[in-house]
Amino acid sequence: MAGPTKNAPPSGATDPSRPVDFIRAIINDHMRTGRFEGKVHTRFPPEPNGYLHIGHAKSIFLNFGIAQEYEGLCNLRFDDTNPSKEDQEYIDSIIEDVRWLGMDWGDRMFFASDYFEKTYELAEELIKKGLAYVCDLTPEEVRQYRGTLTEPGRESPYRNRSVEENLELFRRMRAGEFEDGSRTLRAKIDMASPNMNMRDPVIYRILRATHHRTGDDWCIYPMYDFAHPISDSLEGITHSICTLEFEDHRPLYDWFLEKLGMFHSQQIEFARLNLSYTLMSKRRLLELVELGVVEGWDDPRMPTIAGLRRRGYTPEAIRKFCDRIGVSKKDSMVDLALLEHVVREDLNERCPRVMAVLDPLRLTIENYPEGLVEEFEIPNHPDRPEMGTRKVPFCKTLYIERDDFSEDPPPKFHRLAPGKEVRLRGAYLVTCTGVDRDPRTGETVGVRCAYDPASRGGDAPDGRKVRGTIHWVSAEHAVEAEVRLYDRLFTVENIAAEAERTGRDYKDFLNPASLVVLRGCKMEPSVKDAPAYSRFQFERQGYFCVDPKATSPGRPVFNRTVQLRDTWAKIEKASAGKAAGPGSETAAEGKGASPSEGDHGVEAREITIEDFTKVDLRVGRVLEAHAVEGSDKLVRLLVDLGEPRPRNIVAGIRKAYPEPVGLVGKLVLVVANLRPRKMRSGLSEGMILAAGSGDHWRICTVDGDMSPGAKVS
């Protein structure tokens, strides 16, 4: 199995117009120089000691994606060298998750345990070459002898045993003659190396644990640092792509392959995914499962692929997110809001719309005929007629959202209130004529309305304007459902950093409101028998998915995937800021705002060199460019600034670039240290420099071969 698997030369993998990250740049260089004979063979090597999370998804898409781009191959290999923490459940879940993400490894699913005999033989070969020895130091003594970052280690007193003695002891280790932990096999390298990983690392330990595949055949197991390069070499892996914490292990990886004279794979490291408000440690995630903090590995609050699937994420959204953040050599924290934004964009395109009332308030139409039931044909998607329509029943008594009614409405409240007229989505215009209250508590239990029979379909024949539209469900036909509102599992962005800063346990930052369960919700009947994992947009609420575990026939349970943008919450926040006064934190947020477009005739203030140096100008490469829907001025750009992920930038250049796709690949100048701005079209994370006047502005471009992120002065 040694050597790279042959494949055809790549077509388009080195297209110069395509943005190239540092990993693909290395592979392209190998293609040019003929290393690996122009072949690419990668692998995804999970440890079966937990469920995969979204960080693994990044690695999956990277390894399988590179293999596909270069017309190569990618293996799925389980690193099953630690049987005390491994389980068949984890193996099954990993296979399911990788397949769900759309990956295909053909007949190339392997296990490190496939090579246990060969790995043992190679360990004996190191002993015979005088490059490995059996050590009797205890784990604590090994740590003491290892030294520190500033002091060299000390040689083990057993380091100079003869080859014959080491072979005999190692074979007796395999035969089970010694207690667990009493002896190890160590590589003989350099106890004074500045790289701690090279100070005679342990490569075999005694561990009596039943293995999920080999049973009790072995009582010694190789360490990951030894098994990993051997597995890569035996499978002919050309590019062994792993996360940044293995960068200091690469010299050891290379040492084993060189000393054993094996096919030499190229290890390449990239920064792992760190997501705000999220933990990626499998040890911590397992603890949350074992303590019952979450329902299980597939709890929709978990960052596991199984949890994201159950929450309603799609493989396409996860892939797009991983593409957006790209790959980097520098660790950074990716904002969870970006993932939610990408998921929202994906679900917006694919999800049918339905009406669901989560906090029901009864609405009775007093002048609607008793016993009459009408059906309204409503589009399943406002922008995709090919998704068809559905018939929604309508009768005298309906349910509406409780917060869509206010007896004492604040300014700009365009929903239902006494004497106020609103549109019932797709049906009629109604005016509130009265309120029903609980005689004991005085609580509002219902509202009464009058409808305009001539407004069928939601438009008034006399042309009067009605600003508010609310959704509804027929009380007679409603399906009762449970809805689970999921939110972030933690209350702070960087859990590990905050725990270290405060000296508190990471569990202290769990969000007590990460799950709110609503029962007695009312749904339109079209969702009654929706199969597991069906996704919908509940109009004006968010995106929801049918839970595959809790749903029973006729009693659906929905998990909230992600919220819609809440326009009313923004208005309330702005109103609260005005009411709070100039000394409040909310009011202070507006101090750095730019003047409005109407502020003309203000003389420009002269600035100093020091002022100008505060502007962080950088070169960026345009990766995507699209017109903003509904705007004749704005273009949305995705710009690579050499950071872990590209930035979204909205620019008013549509008239100069009616076909914005022509900007893709251009090098532009970006003001990189502006505070992100929330716009109707989304978040804008910078400013593109442009020249012009009026509505005609052309962007400033850069000639030459500049790297994204280069500073401009």
Number of domains in the chain: 5
| In-domain check, residue 516 | yes
Residues 372 and 461 in one domain: yes
List Cα–Cα distances, 333 to 271, 275, 305, in angstroms. Answer: 10, 6, 19
Q: Has 282 been annotated as catalytic? A: yes
In this predicted model, what pLDDT tens digit does every residue of 113-161 receive, in sequence order? 999 999 999 999 999 999 999 999 999 999 999 999 999 999 999 999 9
Contacts of 551 (CB under 8 A, 6+ apart): 532, 557
Look up residue 598 and give its amino acid. Answer: G
More confident call, 571 vs 219: 219
Q: What's the 3-state SS for 95-155?
A: HHHHHHCCCCCCCCEEEHHHHHHHHHHHHHHHHHCCCEEEECCCHHHHHHHHCCCCCCCCC
% of the chain beyond a pLDDT of 90: 74
- Establish whether 272 is a catalytic residue: yes
Do 213 and 232 belong to one domain? Answer: no
| Strand pairing report for 690-693 and 677-679 | unpaired
| 361/347 same-domain check | no
Averaged over 98-102, what is the pLDDT? 98
Distance CA 316, CA 338 (A): 15
For range 612-634, the mean pLDDT = 82
Distance CA 380, CA 387 (A): 6
Is 654 among the domain residues? yes
Residues 122 and 171 in one domain: yes
Domain end (from 222, 245, 261): 222
The verdict on residue 569 lying in a domain is no
The DSSP bridge pattern shows strands 647-651 and 184-187 to be unpaired
Task: Report yes or no on 590 lying in a domain.
Answer: no
pLDDT higher at 557 or 661: 557
Domain CATH number, residue 675: 2.40.50.140
- Compute the distance between CA of residue 348 and CA of residue 616 in angstroms, rounded to an integer: 35
Q: What is the CATH number of the domain that holds 453?
A: 2.40.240.10
Residue 532, domain member (yes or no): yes
At residue 255, does pLDDT exceed 90? yes
Q: What is the mean pLDDT of residues 200-226?
A: 97
One DSSP character per residue, 192-232 reads T-SSGGGSS-EEEEE----BTTTBTS-SEEE-HHHHHHHHH
3-state secondary structure of 580: helix
Q: Give burial (CB, 10 Å; 0-12/13-18/19+) of 505.
A: exposed
Q: For residue 17, give the DSSP letter.
A: T
Q: How many helices (H) and strands (E) does the chain have?
A: 16, 37
Range of the domain at 386: 356-471
d(CA 652, CA 214): 64
Residues 243 and 259 placed together within one structural domain of the fold: yes
In a domain? residue 600:
no
CA dihedral 262, 265, 266, 268 (to 10 degrees): -120
Structure tokens at 421: 């007229």
Long-range contacts, stretch 93-100, CB < 8 angstroms, 24+ apart: 93/51, 93/52, 93/297, 93/306, 94/46, 94/48, 94/51, 94/52, 96/306, 97/51, 97/52, 97/56, 97/305, 97/306, 97/309, 98/44, 98/52, 98/60, 100/305, 100/309, 100/315
Domain boundary among 179, 198, 222: 222
Distance CA 120, CA 221 (A): 9
Q: Is there a single domain that holds both residue 614 and residue 661?
A: yes
In this structure, what CATH number is given to the domain that contains residue 27? 3.40.50.620
CB distance 206 to 179 below 8 Å: yes
Q: Indicate if 705 and 649 belong to the same structural domain.
A: yes
Kindly state whether residues 107 and 244 are assigned to the same domain.
Answer: yes
Is residue 571, in this structure, part of any structural domain at all? no
**Same-domain pairing of 387 and 442:** yes
CA 309 vs. chain centroid, Å, equals 12
- Does a structural domain hold residue 428? yes
- Do residue 244 and residue 204 come from a single domain? no
The amino acid sitting at 158 is: Y
| CB distance 688 to 670 below 8 Å | yes
Tens of pLDDT along 38-74?
A: 999 999 999 999 999 999 999 999 999 999 999 999 9
The answer to whether residue 581 scores a pLDDT higher than 60 is no
Given the residues 47, 155, 168, 287, the one annotated as active site: 47
Active-site option among 272, 329, 350, 633 = 272
Burial 586-624 (b: 16+ CB within 10 A, else e): eeeeeeeeeeeeeeeeeeeeeeeeeeeeeeebbbbbbbb
Q: Which of 39, 186, 199, 282 is catalytic?
A: 282
Quick one: how far is CA 278 from the chain centroid? 10
What does DSSP assign to residue 658?
Answer: S
The model carries a pTM of 0.78
CATH number for 123? 3.90.800.10
Q: Which helix (DSSP H) or strand (DSSP E) does residue 523 occupy?
A: strand 515-523
* Residue that finishes a domain, picked among 203, 222, 241: 222
Coil, helix or strand for 387?
helix
Q: Do 101 and 142 belong to one domain?
A: no
User: φ and ψ at 187, to 5 degrees?
Assistant: -75, 140
Of residues 216 and 592, more confidently modeled: 216
> Rounded to whole angstroms, how far apart are CA atoms 519 and 521?
6
Backbone angles phi, psi at 260, to 5 degrees: -90, -5
Residues with Cβ within 8 Å of 657's Cβ and at least 6 positions away in sequence, in order, are 625, 635, 663, 698
Under DSSP, the state recorded for 38 is G
- Strands 73-78 vs 41-44: parallel, antiparallel or unpaired: parallel
pLDDT in tens, 501-555: 999 999 999 999 999 999 999 999 999 999 999 999 999 999 999 999 999 998 9
Same-domain check for residues 95 and 233: yes
- Is the pLDDT reported for residue 572 higher than 90? no
Select from 195, 143, 204, 218 the least CA-distant residue to 169: 204
Question: pLDDT tens digit string along 371-414?
Answer: 999 999 999 999 999 999 999 999 999 999 999 999 999 988 99
Question: Annotated catalytic, 578?
Answer: no
